[in-house]
Structure 1
Amino acid sequence: MRVPARREPVRVAPDMSKHIAMVGVPAVSHVLPGLEVIRELAARGHRVTYANDPAVAHLIEPTGAELVPCTSTLPVADNAWPADPIAAMDLFLDDAIQALPQLRAVYDADPADLYLYDIGAYGARALAESQGRPFVQLSPTFVAWKGYEDEVAAQLWALPGADAHRAKFAEWLASCGATTLDSDAFSGRSPRALALIPRAMQPNADRVDDSVTFVGPCLGDRASLGGWTRPADAGKVLLVSLGSAYTRQAAFYRECLAAFGNLPGWHVVLQIGKYVDPAELGEVPANVEVRSWVPQPAILAQADAFVTHAGMGSSAEGLHAGVPMIAVPQAAEQFMNADRLVELGVARRIDTADATAESLRSTLLELVADPDVARTSAGLRDETRAEGGSTRAADLVEELLP
């Protein structure tokens, strides 16, 4: 399958170029989805700055954006996220509180004409509101729908520690210059948001209001991360990846080697992340290449199947490529995403405890032999690509520039 040729960006006249600032958090799953939007805006001639931790400078700088160092306190280096959702929310709030002075030190003297911000970068919205500047949320996952507060958020706010978190959030908002003082409204719905996911992955999409536009995944070749060429003798290609965060799964990878190693006609790319030593895998069959990191969209464009943790980014990339998937969810919203992929008719779900070599192999062979799965995958691929990606996202951003 081929990815359509990328449209050349339309450059704006020098006197019409603007300063657009993106503010993010250094989690790779939050950085990658919006990178091509940033690249597109910079290619059109806008001055784009990107405030984020220097740890992700290698991802940001190739886009043409100017990195604004903003140190983060989020535990992304060792992936030591707490299991308690309120504790995790506290981490994002604390990070925003310490990030805002860093943002002010740069942007009070050099304000952006428009601010883009990640869902976890609360400091950006506070800064934009205090400056009276327009702002747009770039969401790498699903957004709230009408009724979300009662159906989902109410359960969260009933957890221990929730009242203290909301009180701390409200106290910060009252003192930081924000104009939206209700913490639920501030951290929830944005007045304007671009969802960088396929509409097909959005729960209750019919109840999402017009403040949100679904532009689908914004993908590029990620050439700076290295390329990939399909072996000439590969009859079929399988990509196995649990993303960037939940990759301490040596036992699962060994099951994959037993399932797919020496499978006739198949070439397998196995991404193991940075936490597993390849030596833990034992003998690697000749038809398997093991990598710590891969340019995922480039491989999916040439793949025939995908074993994924069903993170939103990977789910969206799988739909964009039209590749049948085996979803092995690991945490958070991945279980919901896995069920949605199954509901759409393009995937089978296998929980980690059930992911034996036998179940993985039989599921793969059944999945790729199913003509209904192939037909549905192709249809959703076309729908996802029609949402416009980075080109449409950049067009919408430019429409909102003052």
Structure 2
Amino acid sequence: MKALFTTQPGIGHLLPMLAIAQALQQQGHEVRFATARSFGPTVAAYGFAAIAAGLDWLEAHAVRTFPEMEDMTAAEQGDWLLSDIFADVAAHRMIPDLIAICREWRPDVIVRNDFEFASCIVAELLDIPQATISISFFLSASVLEPRIGEQLAYLRSMHGLSPYPALDMLYPYLYLVLAPSTFQPRELPVMHGIRPTPVGADEAVPAWCHQLAAQPTVYASMSSVYRGTNVFPNILAGLRDEPINLILTIGRGQDPAQFGPQPPNVRIEQFIPQAALFPYCDLFITHNPFFTITSALSYGLPLLMIPNGGELWMGAMRSMELGLGRVLRLPGQFAAFNSLVPEVAPHTINSAVRDLLQSPHYRANTQSMRAEIQALPDAMYAVELLCDLAASRSPIRAGVAASA
């Protein structure tokens, strides 16, 4: 079987897809990724062939390609990327290349993620069955319609397809959810749960990780869009004097010295593989990307979540509802949550972390979620489902056994 994976050029889009792509390769199937040319080396580093398609850009350096983002807040950037880039500019530019790739290579199935839309058009035009791997809390039609409904309708009309209903093309055959149903309710008949496989779990960690003091360890990692929001300075001010080990990873290309001298219990690094670090931790502070939190929950870690965009808020509020963690919001943003969610500040971070570490129900809830995650079938089950899809060319409904 030939499987063409499609993704936006961002590491957060790629990582959730890797385990299933690797499982396909291990079973002898052919896998290629279509993505921006500049993202090809990242894909190749994980052992996959990359085919250049569409606009050449990198999400990590989006402001270089789209300088209008410079004056946007982190939340505005996320919404704008969805509506104006993913569902508009990037999709329009990618469709002709995907058509050419599919006509030459003839994949049996296309595998996308929630934020890549060009492949939906191409799959329908060329009658290729298409599957989605979740990299986000599920975005229903009611959520997406006001944000990208017009863009997708126009995209369809540009290629001779009926413009409406525009969103029916997103999840017609198979949706692979990297979370248990308790966390992500099964809102579609073609939703199937697959165990998330954290990336980099067997990689090395710094030697000092093995020598941490016998006290709780709090780990904080944020997206590059949080630079300039003072989130890290607030975390440091709120936590460095507490009886904890505090670890911050601030991103490649960032200088830990920018935060000044720190006490011995604080470690600031550019990068540590998250899955390799999680076993040393008692609490995770995150901007709440879906795959990152399900990976953290697979280690039973309570969460302090500081989301910056719409779909990140959905997962954060669900996590809070389930008692998996606490939520804070960036100053001046999401005023609708004033009564429920405090703003980020040293004292609110301190209060939330104390509560998360001292209240046993958070750990009990995350350990229960960990057990549910471990009970999910692994990526090999996704391979069976994709093979069934390629063979049947029909929707793969939950509850119908995949072929052996």
User: Which category of TM-score, normalised to the shorter sequence, fits these structures?
Assistant: 0.7 to 0.9
Task: Tell me the SS of whatever aligns to 1:240.
Answer: strand
Q: Deviations over 1:71-123 (max 9, x none)?
A: 43566243445738477423222212211222233331221122111223222
Task: Please say if 1:66 is aligned against 2:49.
Answer: yes
Residue 173 of structure 1: CA displacement?
A: 3.3
From 274, 284, 306, the counterpart of 1:296: 274
Provide the C-alpha distance between the structure 1 equivalents of 2:309 and 2:266, rounded to a whole number of angstroms: 26
Task: Tell me the SS of whatever aligns to 1:197.
Answer: coil
Structure 1 spans left out of the alignment, 5+ residues? 1-17
1:89 partner amino acid? S
Matched with 1:38 is 21
Task: Tell me the SS of whatever aligns to 2:310.
Answer: coil
1:55 partner amino acid? S
| Identical amino acids, percent of aligned pairs | 21
Q: Deviations over 1:129-152 (max 9, x none)?
A: 33322221122113355xx43xx3
Instruction: Give matches, 1:279-290, under 5 Å.
Output: 279-290=257-268
Instruction: Give matches, 1:2-401, under 5 Å.
Output: 18-73=1-56, 76-80=59-63, 83=76, 85=79, 88-92=82-86, 93-144=88-139, 148-149=141-142, 152-153=143-144, 155-156=146-147, 163=150, 165=151, 168-174=154-160, 182=164, 184-186=166-168, 188-202=170-184, 205=185, 208-221=187-200, 227=205, 230-235=209-214, 236-242=216-222, 244-249=223-228, 251-264=230-243, 266-274=244-252, 276-353=254-331, 354-401=343-390
Structure 2 spans left out of the alignment, 5+ residues? 64-68, 332-342, 392-404
Task: Tell me the SS of whatever aligns to 1:333.
Answer: helix
Provide the C-alpha distance between the structure 2 equivalents of 1:170 and 1:267, rounded to a whole number of angstroms: 52
Residue 343 of structure 1: CA displacement?
A: 0.8
Provide the C-alpha distance between the structure 1 equivalents of 2:15 and 2:45, rounded to a whole number of angstroms: 12
Q: Deviations over 1:260-289 (max 9, x none)?
A: 32533x322202235754343122222222
2:199 partner amino acid? G
Contact 1:52 1:71 in 2 (8 A): yes
Q: Deviations over 1:135-172 (max 9, x none)?
A: 21122113355xx43xx355547xxxx65x35522322
The CA RMSD over aligned residues, in Å, is: 2.8
Q: How many residues align?
A: 366
Residue 336 of structure 1: CA displacement?
A: 2.5
Provide the C-alpha distance between the structure 1 equivalents of 2:109 and 2:115, rounded to a whole number of angstroms: 18
Residue 49 of structure 1: CA displacement?
A: 0.9
- TM-score normalised by the chain length of structure 1: 0.81
Residue 394 of structure 1: CA displacement?
A: 2.5
- TM-score normalised by the chain length of structure 2: 0.81
Q: Deviations over 1:275-310 (max 9, x none)?
A: 754343122222222223331122123311011112
Bigger mean CA offset, 186-195 vs 294-303: 186-195
Provide the C-alpha distance between the structure 1 equivalents of 2:229 and 2:272, rounded to a whole number of angstroms: 17
2:134 partner amino acid? S
Change (3 A) 1:389 1:57: farther
Provide the C-alpha distance between the structure 2 equivalents of 1:350 and 1:167, rounded to a whole number of angstroms: 36
Task: Tell me the SS of whatever aligns to 2:4.
Answer: strand
Matched with 1:12 is none
Provide the C-alpha distance between the structure 2 equivalents of 1:186 and 1:390, rounded to a whole number of angstroms: 26
Q: Deviations over 1:344-391 (max 9, x none)?
A: 112012223333323322321221121211211110111012122423
Provide the C-alpha distance between the structure 2 equivalents of 1:250 and 1:288, rounded to a whole number of angstroms: 20
Contact 2:121 2:169 in 1 (8 A): no
Provide the C-alpha distance between the structure 2 equivalents of 1:153 and 1:100, rounded to a whole number of angstroms: 20
Task: Tell me the SS of whatever aligns to 2:210.
Answer: coil
Change (3 A) 1:87 1:281: closer
Residue 128 of structure 1: CA displacement?
A: 2.7
Provide the C-alpha distance between the structure 1 equivalents of 2:155 and 2:32, rounded to a whole number of angstroms: 27
Residue 186 of structure 1: CA displacement?
A: 4.5
